[in-house]
Amino acid sequence: MSAPAGRSLQINRLWPLGWLICRRLLSGALVLLASATVTFFALRLTPGDPVRAVLGGPTANPTPETVARAIAEFGLDRPLPVQYLLHIGRLLRGDLGTSFSQHQQVSAVIAEQIGPTLWLTGSAVAVAWLLSTLSVLATARRGWALSAVGSAAETMAAALPQFWLGLVLLAVFAFGLRWFPPQSDGGFLGMVLPTLALAVPLAGFLAQVTRESFELALDQPFILSARMRGLGEGAVRWRHGLRHAALPGISLSAWAIGSLIGNAVLVEVIFSRPGLGRVLYQAVSVQDMPLTIGVTLVVTLVYVVASLAVDLLYILVDPRLKAKRT
């Protein structure tokens, strides 16, 4: 094959992947714009006085002159459409503004707090996949009784509210048995309970989806072929059945990451953990508009990036899907 023909073939193979990335980036930009718009108007139309957050909260007693200066400084005296356009213009320049309540750049607040939240979310996703995989491999098609027990346990786990599970874990294992600290201290033990609170319900949901696909995969001809080649049952399940069964769960992982970051708001408050969850809770409480919008945008951005990563991983696990995503 000549060199030009080889380059042309390589371009043809990479084109679907490049087009997928471009589409995801464009849709991600639109999602970010929609998120910024909805959050801006929701906060501005919420009853209350955001100037109080600027001047020290509800206990502050500023003079009328101080209030007037704060309103002018943050542009709150301008018409709402003008405020919105100025806000979008700052976001396009990468300027998230200054926090009303913390009196520092929103980007600095987020940079300080995003690490613990991403670490908690990542550990929860990893533990959820581990638990769901072990449940499916250990119980699916292992006899009626064992399969029924596994399926029931997965259904119960998926139905658990994460904040309720966090409270139960805190009461039993922190205050009752005293195995883990009630407040996260940044160490390994402080990560266990909040991680389980987020991971267990997600594991139940992933296991339900994976179990159905796994049982269907075990009936496919390629499984029979693998067994006829002398592969053991464990190798057949792990190397062949699970790879195909994991595809639906992988496609839902982007949604799972976004859901976990959202639920981390309550979990971080329950376990007194640092992170974006506590920052968002405090910002909404005092109507800190720049900080609330900044955190919301970062959470949305994480979801967009996770969606793109999941699409690429999906193609990596099953390259045959590349042609279907053009």
Q: Please name each of the domains of the chain with its CATH number.
A: 21-95 (no CATH), 105-324 (1.10.3720.10)
- The CA angle 52-55-59, to the nearest 5 degrees, is 65
Q: Check residue 98 and report its DSSP letter.
A: B
| Residues 264-296 pLDDT 10s | 777 888 888 888 878 888 787 777 778 888 888
Tokens of 58: 């509800």
Query: Which of residues 35 and 52 earns the better pLDDT score?
Result: 35
Tokens of 9: 């073939």
CA distance 319 to 312: 10
Say what the pLDDT of residue 1 is.
47
CA distance 200 to 281: 23
Q: Are 116 and 123 spatial neighbours (Cβ–Cβ below 8 Å)?
A: no
* 75 Ramachandran zone, left/alpha/beta (phi>0; psi -120 to 50): left
| Residues 61-113 pLDDT 10s | 667 777 677 677 667 777 778 888 887 888 888 788 778 777 788 888 888 88
Q: Is the pLDDT of residue 17 over 70?
A: no
| Residues 118-170 pLDDT 10s | 888 889 988 998 998 888 888 877 778 888 888 888 889 888 888 889 889 98
Say what the pLDDT of residue 221 is.
67
| Residues 176-219 pLDDT 10s | 888 888 877 667 888 889 999 999 998 888 888 888 777 777 76
SS3 142: coil
Q: What average pLDDT does this structure show over 221-225? A: 67
SS3 10: helix
- The CA angle 264-265-268, to the nearest 5 degrees, is 70
CA distance 257 to 125: 7
Query: Exposed (0-12), middle (13-18) or buried (19+): which is 150, by Cβ within 10 Å?
Result: buried
Say what the pLDDT of residue 127 is.
92
Q: Which of 53, 8, 32, 52 is nearest to 282 (CA)?
A: 53
